[in-house]
Amino acid sequence: MTMTRLAQFWQGRFPLSKTFWLGWAVPVVGGNVLLSVGAWWVINHIGLIAFYIAVALVAIYTLAAVIPVWRSAATYTGHRLFKYGARGVAAVTTLLPIVGIVTIAATLIAIKSGNDPTHDPERIAEKTAIPSASHPLAGFWKTDPSDNFGLAIAPAEGSLYSVSFCGPGGCFKPGSYRPNTPIVGDESYQVISSETLRVRGNDGWTTYTRSPGRGGEDCPKP
């Protein structure tokens, strides 16, 4: 029965409203929201490759789900705005998954060859995240003091900072996790005090407090 319904969905035999909203919008939008909210947890507890695989699966489904939407729209007899709007939205959003899949494929190939452009096993960002007169916001920042992961904010060129996620498996190379930033004046950051920052991500604002370090034998505290 399940296979029959899947076949009917793939062939576009369900009404366009059900195909678009339940077959495309809910899983695609929901999948991307879950990835955004759970990104750090997956990277920290399962690994970066697992996160890439999850992103690839969502991207593949996003691409595949365009076909039943397109087919269902072909037999839709309602208002043209919904017919062509559903096709257009589903088709346009395939561009992002295509870019994502290409990026992930390139990254996985680099990881396999031992040349990951983002991974920093030497923890340069973490080791250089030391505040100074010119870069007072440098340091290690956590959402919870008990975490062994967080953001290493390190001095970069000029008055800019690099912002890298670091966990037990290593760090992102400076400049590869988030763009280098002055922090003060950047709309993606709010400086609440010298010890508290708010950082805007895909899932909204997150509050961080300065920490003595990530902790652990492999991460001496500065």
Confidence of residue 222 (pLDDT cuts 50, 70, 90): very low
pLDDT mean across residues, the chain? 85
State the sign of the Cα–Cα–Cα–Cα dihedral 155, 117, 45, 187.
positive
Q: Identify whether the C-beta of residue 140 lies closer than 8 Å to the C-beta of residue 148.
A: no
- With b for 16 or more beta-carbon neighbours within 10 A and e for fewer, the 147-157 pattern comes to eebbbbbbbbe
DSSP letter, residue 130: -
- With b for 16 or more beta-carbon neighbours within 10 A and e for fewer, the 61-70 pattern comes to ebbebbebbe
pLDDT(111) > 80: no
- Which range (35-39, 97-101, 127-131, 207-211) has the least confidence? 97-101
Calculate the CA dihedral of residues 92, 98, 99, 102 and round it to 10 degrees: -170
Q: What is the pLDDT of residues 11-68, one digit of tens each?
A: 999 999 999 999 999 998 898 888 878 876 777 677 777 887 888 888 889 889 999 9
- With b for 16 or more beta-carbon neighbours within 10 A and e for fewer, the 77-96 pattern comes to eeeeeebeebbeebeebeee
| Calpha distance 178→156 (Å, rounded) | 12
Q: Identify whether the C-beta of residue 67 lies closer than 8 Å to the C-beta of residue 104.
A: no
pLDDT(143) > 90: yes
